[in-house]
Structure 1
Amino acid sequence: MRKILCFVYESMADFEITLTCHMLGWNPDKEFISIGYEKTPIRASSNLQYIPEMTVKEAISLDDVDALIIPGGFERTCTPELIELIQKMHKEKKLICAICAAPEFLAKSGVLDNHLYTTTLGEDYYKENELKDPFPRQNYSERKVVRHENIITAKGRSFIDFGIEILDYFNMFDDDSEKSMLSKSYKGE
């Protein structure tokens, strides 16, 4: 069974990935594994508690992974082991998905240097907070969701489209009309 890793961390915006995980769960060939910096409980922005099943460091050694999904959040600590995992998956052309502020992890790992992307974090965020902007802004797109090769990024409020695009990446739709119909269904259109 192929694995999909979900990175969980303190104050993550868990609503941004729960629908995606629910829909991907329709594929019986995929196993979800929550990963974190430690195997200790974290509290998401929803105030729900999550306990990672595996550490990021342990996940680096896995060889049967198809995807990494990262939600946005306010406490984005990017460690060397997360960078190593992201770079390894990118080198192996595995799917890497990040929504809202989470593309910052991808920017810090260097994988956005040659990919189009989107994010909720604009240049003003870094200026106002006196932080170094890690993004290659020349590759930025204002679209809600951007899929470029093995990288899918999305703005935070586009979590439905984010999930639909990930399902499409895994060929879970028979055609574009089925993809559109599911999107409209979840949006109440």
Structure 2
Amino acid sequence: MGKIVCLITEDFADFEITLVFHKIKNIGKREVLSAGYTYEAVKSESGLNYKPDLTVSEALKLDDIEALIIPGGPIRCQQSELTELILKLDGQKKLIAAICNGPQYLGRAGILNDHSFTTSCSVEAIQKLGVENPFPRENYIDQRVVKDRNIITAKGRAFVDFSFEIFDYLDIYQGQYEEQEQLFKDIMNK
């Protein structure tokens, strides 16, 4: 089993990834690492500070990454080392999962040209920002979660569904995925 890397940038939506990382670490017994562009702490959307374990450039040199998970956050510029990491992992058919506005990075890397995806970012929101649209809309599917081979994308409000799709892909519950998903849904509906 390899490392699970999470991209953290200023104003990232930390609530979208806490469930998935809690279960990956504690049930899946995987090593989880946060990667930033630098070692500087970033403040999440919730106001908490996070200090990266490594830089994206250092992550590029690792040969044992099992998955890259990208939370949502603002639409922002993308640094070349992130594009390189995404392309490397996709070329190795490793899991790349992005939620809310996180798929913007996959779009800029060209990964979404060959994969179906979803995002919380609308065409109208991109137009208001006056930036180039990173999303190839012909591959967009208006669903809560979309899994296309090694790529999982989700709308921000679907963070529980997103988590369970990742659990299934990584076999976190070792064949007991449906039971655990139903148990979690039962608890949430009480």
TM range (shorter): over 0.9
Hey, which bits of structure 1, 4+ residues long, moved more than 3 A? none
Q: Give me the whole-angstrom Cα distance separating, in 1, the residues matched to 2:187 and 2:101.
A: 23
Q: 1:89 maps to what in 2?
A: 89
Q: Give me the whole-angstrom Cα distance separating, in 2, the residues matched to 1:59 and 1:182.
A: 35
How far residue 186 of structure 1 moved from its aligned partner, in angstroms, is 5.4
Equivalences for 1:101-112 in 2 at 5 Å?
101-112=101-112
How far residue 34 of structure 1 moved from its aligned partner, in angstroms, is 0.6
Q: 1:188 maps to what in 2?
A: 189
Residues matched between the structures, number:
188
Q: 2:172 maps to what in 1?
A: 172
Q: Give me the whole-angstrom Cα distance separating, in 1, the residues matched to 2:18 and 2:179.
A: 21
- Give the % identical residues: 44
CA deviations over 1:55-93 (Å, ceiling 9, x no partner):
000100100010001111126331000000000000000
Could you tell me which runs of 5 or more consecutive residues in structure 1 were left unpaired when the two chains were aligned. none
2:17 is matched by which residue type in structure 1?
I
When structure 1 is superposed on structure 2, of 166-175 and 77-86 the one drifting more is 166-175
Equivalences for 1:1-189 in 2 at 5 Å?
2-25=2-25, 26-28=27-29, 30-74=30-74, 76-173=76-173, 174-175=175-176, 177-185=178-186, 187-188=188-189
Q: CA RMSD in A?
A: 1.5
1:21 is matched by which residue type in structure 2?
F
SS in 2 for 1:142: coil
Could you tell me which runs of 5 or more consecutive residues in structure 2 were left unpaired when the two chains were aligned. none
Q: CA contact under 8 A between 2:171 and 2:177: conserved in structure 1?
A: no
CA distance 1:64–1:84, change in 2 (3 Å): same
TM-score by length of 2: 0.94
Q: CA contact under 8 A between 1:35 and 1:59: conserved in structure 2?
A: yes
1:8 is matched by which residue type in structure 2?
I
Q: CA contact under 8 A between 1:6 and 1:69: conserved in structure 2?
A: yes
